[in-house]
């Protein structure tokens, strides 16, 4: 599974990219607004940090303006993925942009039928929002399972399932078990993936035991070290 980070915070993106975990980035108008920065400059900066797909969303809702905005965004960098809404005009824009050779992320998907439409329009990615469905007492992960199963029936479908609105690690694990191609994850949820009490407890014990040896791994080979004491 590919990991995208769902943020427009450059410091967060740089830190996570340094770990080698990131395959791409998704942004949206709400995330960009939080930064207070210039949208076009921000997308250009993200594309320099992360070589994988970087989703940049159009602001328009009509076909002609969406297409113009999408083409403008695509000129920023070759890894820009233009994000369009799952509407009739959005899918028309998707078809035109993919015809240009631009990657397109069709967003705000909430049904398997919508996901089929996105695939028919040639979307590179479709973004079903699991957390927002859960908020309405609907099983968001069931939607992911449906879309993955449907896409598998048709080898000609190249659209990748990009799981969005991920709220916690179990969303991610469940999506991976179902075979979703990508998950876009908030930085806080990525950090949660590292945490397990047994990992922390084990590391604490290893550090404590190593300190009793009095040794340093950074010492030169052949340097004398204190021999380990044998238990009485």
Task: Enumerate the active-site residues.
Answer: 83
Token output for 10: 């450059």
Residue in 64, 66, 79 with CA at minimum distance from that of residue 17: 79
HSE-CB at 50 with a 13 A cutoff on CA atoms is 33
CA pseudo-torsion sign 142, 146, 149, 152: negative
Dihedral angle at the C-alpha atoms of 111, 144, 190, 160, nearest 10 degrees? -90
């Amino acid at each position: 599974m590919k990991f995208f980070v769902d943020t427009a915070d450059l410091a967060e993106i740089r830190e996570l990219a340094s770990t080698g975990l990131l395959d791409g980035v998704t942004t949206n108008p709400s995330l960009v607004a939080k930064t207070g920065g210039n949208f076009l400059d921000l997308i250009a900066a993200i594309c320099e940090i992360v070589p994988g797909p970087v989703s940049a969303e159009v602001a328009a809702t009509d076909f002609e303006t969406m297409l113009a905005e999408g083409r403008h965004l695509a000129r920023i960098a070759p890894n820009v993925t233009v994000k369009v809404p799952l509407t009739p005009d959005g899918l028309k824009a998707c078809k035109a942009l993919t015809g240009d050779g631009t990657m397109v992320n069709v967003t705000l998907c909430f049904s398997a039928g919508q996901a089929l439409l996105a695939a028919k329009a040639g979307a590179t990615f479709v973004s079903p929002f699991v957390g927002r469905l859960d908020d309405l007492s609907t099983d968001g992960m069931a939607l992911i399972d449906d879309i993955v199963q449907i896409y598998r029936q048709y080898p000609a479908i190249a659209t990748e399932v990009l799981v969005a609105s991920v709220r916690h690690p179990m969303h991610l694990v469940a999506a991976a078990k179902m075979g979703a191609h990508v998950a876009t994850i908030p930085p806080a949820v990525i950090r949660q993936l590292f945490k397990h009490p047994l990992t922390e407890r084990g590391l604490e014990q290893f550090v404590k035991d190593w300190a009793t040896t009095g040794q340093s791994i950074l010492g030169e080979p052949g340097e004398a070290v204190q021999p380990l004491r044998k238990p009485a």
